[in-house]
Structure 1
Amino acid sequence: MPAFDTAPTGRFRAFADVAPKALRERKILRMVEKIAIVGLSLSLTLVGCKAQGVSGGDTTMPTISASTSIGLVTSAPLETARASQTLPVYWLGRSSGDVYLYREFFPTQSIDDPIATALRTMMGTKPNDPDYFSLWNSPSRLGASVSAKNVITVDVSADAFGQKVDQGIASRSIDQLVYTATAAAAMAGLVDTRTTIQVSILVDGHTGYNAFGHVLLDKPITRDAAFVAPVWIIDPANKSTYNEVPLKVVGQGISPTGELAWSLETMVDGTVEKQFSNGTVTIPQGANELGEFTFSLVTPPGTYQLSVYITDPSMPDKKIGLDTKIVTISERSKK
């Protein structure tokens, strides 16, 4: 990971004001209305909403985890700085009986307030991948700042914690915020990635809030690597369309053998039909090390489900840490 020459010396702040709007028939309406910029703070008025696309089962963890992959990831490196105007947002996602953190990128017109903007996106929009979810509510107030000591302070109103969840989901939701805030800060070059990045979460300006009724926010928090998905497909994005082959697949994963399995299945009318091809891919870092994998696929035009997962010889039928994406090849164009 590239190092930054200096840590930022100033403080970056962005504030958002959100007003609640009633829920009708479980469907959530939201509109965004910009208002005045006062002094050095950016203020927005948003129509708030409850967490979207969340089923009752998403608020709880299994009593006993069905996966053998939890805790495989022991180190979660920060994102690298980039000039493109994209926001990193982390979501929760279920796989093999566990709940992990997965990242998506969202386009933005401005990166003047990347931390607050990424967190507003996390709390107020839907993930692109329907397998992901979030339990945050759009807050009536949100602010973010970075100190010269590499501490990100997030100040959010208590209405962001309106969902009732269990301990496991509560802990992962707090880390979802920590991962999103640190990723946005790192990509914008607001922190020195050579040292540990901490996130201090204030609620209505105070420490010690009991988040979701389970997590005491009484001290700065760092990334918990155990919550990172052991396998995730970064590219292609879900429901993306390509008119060129080969299709390059890029992802991040870890496995006890240093290999991951993949499969490509044809889809008809949104339903998986049959397997088209399959294989394995090596993680260059080796066994039990988190690393980036890549491989290429040549396919006829059509819609496919791409799957990448960990295999266990003792459980040949089980796909551990499974991540899937739907991708369409619209027209074949040889390079």
Structure 2
Amino acid sequence: MEIWNPRRRNTAGGSRARSAALLFVLPAALVLSGCVATPQPPETTAASTPQAMTGSATAGVPTTSAPLETTQASNKAPVYWIGRSNENVFLYREFRDVPEQENPVTRALRSMMSQKPLDPDFFTPWQNPKKLATSISGKNVITVDVSPDAFNSNLDDDMAKRAIQQLVYTATAAGASSGLVDSGQQIQVVILVDGHTDYLAFNHVRLGTPTPRGAGMVAPVWIIDPQEGVGVADGSVKISGRSTLPGAKLRWKILKVEGGTDRAAYLSGDVTASAEATQSGLFSLNVNLAPGNYEVRVSQIDPGTPDREMNVDTRGFTVE
């Protein structure tokens, strides 16, 4: 059994630490130690979702999920990962290049279970399974049939439920973006293990129940473009993303990265996420950047503590 250790994000100022050493820091509230006896672990169904957000950590966090992905011509697969923001854990999406031998849902899930995120602040507890197959019924239900080795990670109840939602979000995103399901209706996912229902995933979540996207699972703020580590042309660089709170006031910063680790403030400003129904929560800005390495940071503004970076997301990129 493998214990998965999410990278921690520094809650002081909302920044996300990038040191490789933090890969081995275990949040005690999220991961069960292998030495703790749990003869009867808490059991929930796949349709249950974690409710871990409390107090000030919920400021600006809506109870709805992000809009379902729309059909796109690109063959890149939408894949969701798990990452920390302040005191909470959320889902973040990347678009990944994947082989085209399998259907869009299967290859997106295979990427989620076998690859590493581009962003080192994200992680996945899933393991590469020996068997993985998917199908879609006329009732907008995606069925995922996977072998039990996909669950070979030691998780607590809260993280196990987030891992199931990671699969649900990835499967529904792939189905919607490829046009295989009707994005105007609710999409549900049924997870089978070797063709059977009633499997206890990660020793906590009972599978087999049709499961929709859980509310409040996606990050309140995430940067869509540029993706982590990409190169963009110099001059006017477009930065875009989404807030799950339409009309939210957001703060952005561009840091110049020198010597691989040192970061110096370069540009900053505020932007408002769209409140229009067709563009709900989307934001974008253009900045003029010379060649070099940069990091962009976007966060919500806490009205009570304006200097606090709340629900921050970051991306490192290169201007060529």
Return the TM-score normalized by structure 1: 0.77
Flag the 1:256–1:147 CA change in 2: closer, same or farther, 3 A: closer
Is this contact kept in 1: 2:125–2:153, CA < 8 A? Answer: yes
Following superposition, the deviation at residue 109 of structure 1 comes to 4.1
Letter in 1 for 2:315: K
* 1:274-326 deviation per Cα after TM superposition (whole angstroms, max 9, x unaligned): 2111111111117xx95111110112222111000011132233211100011
Amino acid at match of 1:61: L
The answer to whether residue 284 in structure 2 is matched with residue 294 in structure 1 is yes
The residue type equivalent to 1:57 in the other structure is L
The residue number in structure 1 matching 2:136 is 146
Please give the per-residue CA displacement for 1:1-27, whole angstroms capped at 9, x wherever unaligned.
xxxxxxxxxxxxxxxxxxxxx99xx9x
Shift of 1:55: 3.7
Aligned pair partner of 1:155 in 145, 155, 158: 145
The more displaced of 230-239 and 295-304 is 295-304
In structure 1, the partner of 2:303 is 313
CA shift for structure 1 position 169: 1.0
- 3-state SS of paired residue (1:74): coil
Describe how 1:49-64 pairs up with structure 2 within 5 A.
55=24, 57=26, 60-61=29-30
Spell out the pairing of 1:241-280 with structure 2 (5 A cutoff). Answer: 241-255=231-245, 258-280=248-270
What is the Cα deviation at residue 151 of structure 1? 0.6
Structure 1 equivalent of residue 184 of structure 2 = 194
Task: Say how many residue pairs are matched.
Answer: 280
Greater percentage in strand: 1
Letter in 2 for 1:110: E
Structure 1 position 251, deviation (Å) = 0.2
Q: Does residue 1:78 correspond to 2:68, yes or no?
A: yes
Deviation larger for 268-277 or 215-224: 268-277
- Kindly tell me: are residues 105 and 271 of structure 1, through their superposed partners in 2, closer, same or farther at Cα, counting changes over 3 Å? same
1:218, 1:327 → 2: CA distance? 41
Q: How has the CA–CA distance of structure 1 residues 174 and 123 changed in structure 2, closer, same or farther, with 3 Å as cutoff?
A: same
Instruction: Tell me which of 75, 85, 110 is aligned to 1:120.
Output: 110
Kindly indicate whether residue 96 of structure 2 is the aligned counterpart of residue 106 of structure 1.
yes
Gaps of 5+ in 2: 5-21, 32-51
Residue 10 of structure 1 corresponds to: none
**Moved beyond 4 Å, runs of 4+:** 62-66
Which whole-Å CA distance do the structure 2 matches of 1:148 and 1:172 have between them?
A: 27
Could you tell me the TM-score, scaled by structure 2's length? 0.80
**1-structure distance, mates of 2:302, 2:60:** 14
Aligned-residue RMSD, C-alpha = 2.6
For 1:61 and 1:179, the matched residues in 2 are separated by 20
Paired residue for 1:180? 170
SS at the partner of 1:316? coil
Identity, % of aligned positions: 43
**Which of 198, 201, 207 is equivalent to 1:208?**
198
For structure 1, the 5+ residue unaligned runs are 1-21, 27-52, 331-335
Report which structure shows greater RCO (CA 8 Å, sep ≥6).
Answer: 2
Question: Is the contact between residue 73 and residue 230 of structure 1 (CA under 8 Å) also seen in structure 2?
Answer: no
Q: Distance in 2 between matches of 1:71 and 1:308?
A: 15
| Kept in 2: contact 1:155–1:203 (CA 8 A) | yes
**Alpha carbons of structure 1 residues 144 and 55: separation in structure 2 relative to 1, 3 Å:** farther
Q: CA deviation at 1:71?
A: 4.3
Counterpart-to-counterpart distance in 1, 2:167 and 2:255: 34
Once the two structures are TM-superposed, the CA of residue 122 in structure 1 deviates from its matched residue by 0.4
Amino acid at match of 1:209: Y
